[in-house]
Amino acid sequence: MMNPIGCHGLTFTDAFTAADFDTTARRIAAAGFDLYEVPLMDPWGFDAARGKQVLDDLGLASVVSVGHDGPTDISQEDPAQARAGEELLNQGLQQAHALGATMLTGVLYSSLKRYGKAVSAAGRSQSQQILGRIADRAADLGMDIGLEIVNRYETNVINSLGDAAAFAEEIGRPNVKLHIDTFHMNIEEVNLYDPVLAVADRIGYVHVSENTRGYLGSGRMDFDQFFRALAIIGYGGPLTFETFSASTLSADFAGLLAVWRNFYSDPDDLAAHAAQYMRDGLAHARSTSSVGPEQG
């Protein structure tokens, strides 16, 4: 099977005019990717029909990601925040569908921030109920929704693959998929292998990132182990390179993601390297993996 190899738009810029969308799409295609993950920075202003034409011309597939900010947090027991959050998710879903994407993903279940206390039971349950409704609308459109699992400093709802699988089970819709990310797994999981096998059936999307978020292979991440796990579970979905650098983000967005340093200065070179690294790593894992206990 062939996994689409993707690139997150924020590798290049967080500017999101139509011209920026086009430029980013061209750079992603030129770097050798099959898929553009579109961070929907302007959910109501984005012209998705026009964007679809650009992607079709370049032969790129897409996945759309959205994020809540304070006023749209569906994990908070505040009706106004919950309502605004559901509206944002619905808008994201419509835009993703119009763009031709088959998945809406991201930290859909809460804000992306450091919370000062644990999520309440009622807030968690409310988040699940709203996501259930979004999942039903997505199913009507033939789409999946992804729950991106991020580390403890970025949400208080789900930080591990196991917790996320339980959260998704409780929502009770088959098109709610887990979106796993090596950067966050590196912080929260025992390794990059066993948790993947444990939740294999639910995984629908993958972010690949070095622990520094720099060049793949330049840090301490055991990507051989990770690609082996994906090969063994027969994962056929996208693998998307995600990285950020202070040099390519606005100050506000860099602050949201705590990106203070520059881990690359040439995003085109970084992205082309990542595309090849992921293709080679997967191919190697496929040719050498068999089901069995992890060695080393």
Binding site for Mn ion (CB under 5 A): 181, 207, 242
Residue 182 tokens read as 């090596």
181 vs 189 by CB, closer to Mn ion: 181
Alpha helices (runs of H) in 48-200, residue ranges in sequence order: 48-58, 79-99, 121-140, 161-171, 182-188, 194-198
Q: Least Å distance between CB 127 and Mn ion? A: 19
CA dist 211 and 226 (Å) reads 13
Pairing of strands 35-39, 239-241: unpaired
Active site residue 189: no
CA angle 199, 32, 29 (to 5 degrees): 105
Q: If we measure between CA atoms, which residue out of 153, 173, 171, 151 comes closest to residue 161? A: 151
Q: Least Å distance between CB 105 and Mn ion? A: 9
Q: Least Å distance between CB 183 and Mn ion? A: 6
73 vs 154 by CB, closer to Mn ion: 154
Choosing from 148, 154, 189, 210, which is the catalytic residue?
148
Residue 201, Cα to own-chain centre: how many angstroms?
A: 17
Active site residue 77: no
Q: Least Å distance between CB 242 and Mn ion? A: 5
52 vs 153 by CB, closer to Mn ion: 153
CA dist 174 and 44 (Å) reads 28
210 vs 242 by CB, closer to Mn ion: 242
Residues known to be catalytic: 148, 242
